Structure 1
């Protein structure tokens, strides 16, 4: 079995977003793990329209070429790390729309989350967990939360220090997140491959 591929998805597309900074930090950590291949996935690169298909692709194939390109990329991955801010106690609309634009591609794969903002994005993280369950995903327990002093230390609107400045606080959570994600990615990848073989 080939190594699981992990997509690190930047959930915000705002011009002034912060999410790219922790996403690249997480990519660096994930790239040090020999068990997986990690890739940064930026929603800005896909220019997704608001969901306007006839139905979820669980029921009918999508038509928009941009949506199909997104589904292809999602389908290439064996697990995901979502990097999300918290907007009014939930995730950004750009991330919710991206989640809705695929369905079968998310199924039976693990999801880990890095949240930032008010209370470390905790309310957005919990909302995102429930969405991943509906998409037949496996949300891992450990999460990285960047809040308070740590957030203002690395946020470009304040301290703008490198992510290494707060690794002492969030580094252990990040490693636990990766441990759990890798375990589930290997298990679910093997399960999907076994199911595909039996169906052939």
Structure 2
């Protein structure tokens, strides 16, 4: 747990792609703004994978065995960053029917930092990233995360008309419901 008291939980909206012109940052920023505007009881911020200095996961020791101590300075910084949050919303695209590889590498490079924390998912793609989100459910469950079953699946047709991100009020309400559920689950962890 990241907090010793009953303060507001810290929630990261994890923008998990790094390509130029990526949608993950637009969607993560929209989610954070929507949650703040709705007054969700949490401190919410974007965790932008593109701003992290991560290479390939190459350690001979599996992350589960590291106990949060990492030799590589970049991985130690990533561990501290992820460990500082009480819950997550993963903003994920879908690449060839699965999760973005760079995002998976970033998640796989840690273990205990994710464990017992709530996580929800916002996916986008031609089918709303339903396959990627299903894969993330499996990964999060394996990591011991508390999966919040309020996925927000956005299709390109719905939210990217003319290649411009245009979420509807219904999409915003769904994100607020997801964020509220993550914050409530994180609050339980923070206050324990």
Answer 1 or 2: which has greater helix percent.
Answer: 1
The 2-side partners of 1:63 and 1:148 are apart by: 41
**Which residue in 1 is equivalent to 2:164?**
160
Secondary structure in 2 matching 1:58: helix
Structure number, greater radius of gyration: 1
Deviating above 4 A after TM superposition, structure 1's stretches of 4 or more consecutive aligned residues are: none
CA shift, 1:148, in A, is 4.1
The 2-side partners of 1:54 and 1:3 are apart by: 37
Q: 1:28 aligns with which of 33, 51, 66?
A: 33
Q: 1:42 aligns with which of 48, 59, 75?
A: 48
**Which residue in 2 is equivalent to 1:58?**
64
**Which residue in 1 is equivalent to 2:3?**
none
**Which residue in 2 is equivalent to 1:175?**
176
**Which residue in 2 is equivalent to 1:198?**
none
Count of residues in Structure 1 that have an aligned counterpart in Structure 2: 184
Q: 1:16 aligns with which of 12, 21, 42?
A: 21
Segments of 5+ residues of structure 1 without an aligned counterpart are 192-200
Q: TM-score, normalised by structure 2?
A: 0.90
Segments of 5+ residues of structure 2 without an aligned counterpart are 1-5
With a CA cutoff of 8 Å and minimum separation of 6, indicate the structure with the bigger relative contact order: 2
Work out whether 1:130 is the aligned partner of 2:138: yes
The 1-side partners of 2:41 and 2:164 are apart by: 32
